[in-house]
Structure 1
């Protein structure tokens, strides 16, 4: 049985001050025009603090993916602004956004997105090499060892299990030490054991390395690994849950599903 939330002990004199890794300010996103317009996000203001793990949940069509895409700079909001490490993304052109995503944002997707003709090691180092940076082999070896896939570093993705491929994808996401990692249904293609291993990996990245993770998921058990859960419906934040357990998350989702019918 995993521990979904853990916090370090602090003395009475210790004051923990968190900074915002990602901030959305009155963000709206409208798809289409006129009578066919769909408001995917509706005036959302939200902060993801550094060193936290947040799950985003909601019914189909609630705006989860749109929220992730806008927060990660993959899509521009119709109105409002998104800030990463204090930088307003609206100030960047497309080339600047590409560089920012490459240097300061990590991504983990359900489909792994590994190049099939490259080894695990080559997949992990490719983004930095494309950016003109040469990752040290020792850093990559150390990362693979921490993830328990050091013996698979020179294998092609097709020679790896789903869980191993997701670990490679995670290694690729963290090698550049990004400000935030966005995970979109990272366990959706995995069996129960592999999913648990990946979720424990994400949790440890926050607890031990101070990473910031924002995860979209439909799975209450996956959400229970997060520090908090944000629930969306019709493009709006309708509820939050701190230090969640799987049963409490499932109950919230059930009530939310009844609400939007």
Structure 2
């Protein structure tokens, strides 16, 4: 059986929270056009934590935007929780973002005039859904914010504000939480706390998380790391550790001679299979296929 045939079989047997199939996205037109995503295929199984990494301009943020329906690809298909996003109109996309997606950003994006509890409940109110007060309080208590329910964002530290944003993203039990540099504005201890919370949401709560980050320490909290360069997936790694992630990022950031290729990472048992993500996606606890 060929690798492609095997990957197709694996994909068909696996339930995925998110699938991108041959997604291409260009910015600009004519001679100045830039291909941000170049026929990218990626499958994310439910209940996994995937980090997307690469140099600045590699396409990782464009990937997140297309995967979340915040931007439309020029070609290809995006399926989230069984819903095709690329053909959906804006009303349907808005509904899906409210009901099936959660978002955590570097800048927290909390409403300064609302309390912690009100900020967490806000997406449910926008969606016209009933807010379960005990559920909100219980979630915040688990995140170490049980005594901050009535505080405003300005009364919290950066790490506490990011935990509020995580609670807001997870309250509705979305199919996927998209995290865009969630630790970028935090100090080392606060960043570690936030990453631990995201890790526990996957391990204990079965949440699916896709995180864009440039930080090798943050990437090491994931089940798998997908590396981007020039709009393409160039490598992947399971069971990542900070040193291995940092080494791979260093290779991606090294200037490549004209006509050359990105330096390849060695294949290590139980760790990396080059090109495998394009064929089938990320499997938790095993190789990328």
Say yes or no: does 1:94 pair with 2:74.
no
Say yes or no: does 1:148 pair with 2:156.
no
What residue number does 1:186 align with? 182
Does 17-26 or 63-72 show the bigger shift? 17-26
Residue 229 of structure 1 aligns to a residue whose secondary structure is strand
Number of aligned positions between the proteins: 245
Give the C-alpha shift of residue 100 in structure 1: 0.4
**RMSD of aligned Cα (Å):** 1.0
Q: Which residues of structure 2 form unaligned runs of 5+?
A: 1-12, 258-289
What residue number does 1:198 align with? 194
C-alpha distance in structure 2 between counterparts of 1:214 and 1:229, whole Å: 10
Please list the CA deviations of residues 80-138 of structure 1 after superposition, one character each: whole Å capped at 9, or x if unmatched: 01000111112310111011001000000000000101111111111101111111111
Residue 91 of structure 1 aligns to a residue whose secondary structure is coil
What residue number does 2:15 align with? 19
Say yes or no: does 1:79 pair with 2:80.
no
Aligned CA distance change for structure 1 residues 31 and 178 (closer, same or farther; 3 Å):
same
Please list the CA deviations of residues 49-80 of structure 1 after superposition, one character each: whole Å capped at 9, or x if unmatched: 10000000000100010000000111000100
C-alpha distance in structure 2 between counterparts of 1:118 and 1:134, whole Å: 18
User: How does the TM-score come out when normalised to structure 1?
Assistant: 0.92
What residue number does 1:215 align with? 211
Residue 204 of structure 2 aligns to a residue whose secondary structure is helix
Tell whether the 8 Å contact from 1:233 to 1:260 is kept in structure 2 after alignment: no
User: How does the TM-score come out when normalised to structure 2?
Assistant: 0.83
Runs of 4+ in 1 over 3 A off after TM superposition: none
C-alpha distance in structure 2 between counterparts of 1:91 and 1:153, whole Å: 40
C-alpha distance in structure 1 between counterparts of 2:220 and 2:126, whole Å: 36
What residue number does 1:137 align with? 133
Picking from 155, 160, 165, the partner of 1:159 is 155
